[in-house]
Chains A and B, each alone.
Chain A
Amino acid sequence: DAKTTQPTSMDCAEGRAANLPCNHSTISGNEYVYWYRQIHSQGPQYIIHGLKNNETNEMASLIITEDRKSSTLILPHATLRDTAVYYCIVRVDQTGANNLFFGTGTRLTVIP
């Protein structure tokens, strides 16, 4: 599975959009981009995933560049409860939690 690069940490003001970038320049054509987050002392939580097209759900939006070498997770109106470590993962299959490579992620702090 392709490696990803994420900033170590980011801050965001409460109520503003949080834009979390991820580089995956070696992604293959059949690899999906996944985002999970881990709030302190909890297990990781699935957020969203996509292949080529932009995706949106009740939690977030995922914007994937046309060349698929990078993506951005957008939390449209960040709240204090969104403070967490966010992991960008790329992988071939879509089978649940099988062989997810989490890396070290981006620590997002939402500031009041």
Chain B
Amino acid sequence: ETGVTQSPTHLIKTRGQQVTLRCSSQSGHNTVSWYQQALGQGPQFIFQYYREEENGRGNFPPRFSGLQFPNYSSELNVNALELDDSALYLCASSLGVRGGAEAFFGQGTRLTVV
């Protein structure tokens, strides 16, 4: 158990719909990162939030957006879903820019787009 919880655990959506995934970070952690993991691939970095601001982004289009709340929990929103968005979505929490290297990942949300 890492203390990072994600909801829901599984989700099925239709192409073109919008989805919101949620992440509660480990107590005391102020930084949340989101990753997408397609089947058989390693996780790919989507973006990171630190103190409610996005402070890093990977190669994902603007329809992938996020939020971080004052309690450091976070949401990942994906608009106009495509079939290729089917993946495991992982969030990770850490102590932020001066907190060091260790990060704790949640169990992920399995999104299926049909």
Q: Note all chain B residues with C-beta closer than 8 A to A44.
A: 43, 90, 92, 105
Residues of B close to A29: CB separation below 8 A: none
- Indicate if the CB atoms of A96 and B103 lie closer than 8 Å: yes
Given the contacts A87-B42, A104-B41, A105-B42, A98 and B105 also touching, CB distance less than 8 Å: no
Of A41, A94, A95, A105, the residue contacting B31 (CB under 8 A) is A95
Given A43-B2, A44-B105, A96-B33; A102-B42 close (CB under 8 Å): yes
Shortest Cβ gap from A94 to chain B (Å):
5
The reply to whether the CB of A76 lies closer than 8 angstroms to some CB of chain B is no
Q: Mark B82-110, 1 if CB is under 8 A from A, else 0.
A: 00000000101111110111111111100
Contact A98 B42 (CB under 8 A): no
B45 touches A101 (CB 8 A): yes
B101 lies within 8 A of A102 (CB): no
Tell me which residues across on chain A come within 8 A of B45, comparing CB atoms. 98-101
Count of chain A to chain B residue pairs whose CB atoms are closer than 8 Å in the complex = 80
A94 and B43 in contact, given A43-B90, A99-B48 (Cβ under 8 angstroms): no
Q: Taking A43-B106, A43-B107 as contacts, is the C-beta distance between A96 and B101 under 8 angstroms?
A: yes
Q: Is residue A103 within 8 Å, beta carbon to beta carbon, of the partner chain? A: yes
Q: Is the interface of A mostly helix, strand, loop or mixed?
A: loop
Q: Does any Cβ of B come within 8 Å of A65's Cβ?
A: no
B94 touches A95 (CB 8 A): yes
Chain A hits for B35, CB < 8 A: 97, 100
Which residues from B are CB-within-8-Å of A49?
Answer: 101
Q: Which residues of A contact B105 (CB under 8 A)?
A: 42-45, 97
Task: Tell me the B residues contacting A by CB distance below 8 Å.
Answer: 2, 4, 31, 33, 35, 41-45, 48, 55-56, 58, 90, 92-97, 99-108
Q: Can you list 10 pairs linking A and B with CB atoms under 8 Å apart?
A: A32-B101, A34-B101, A43-B92, A43-B105, A45-B105, A85-B42, A94-B100, A96-B92, A98-B31, A102-B42
Q: Which residues of A contact B (CB under 8 A)?
A: 32, 34, 41-46, 49, 85, 87, 94-105
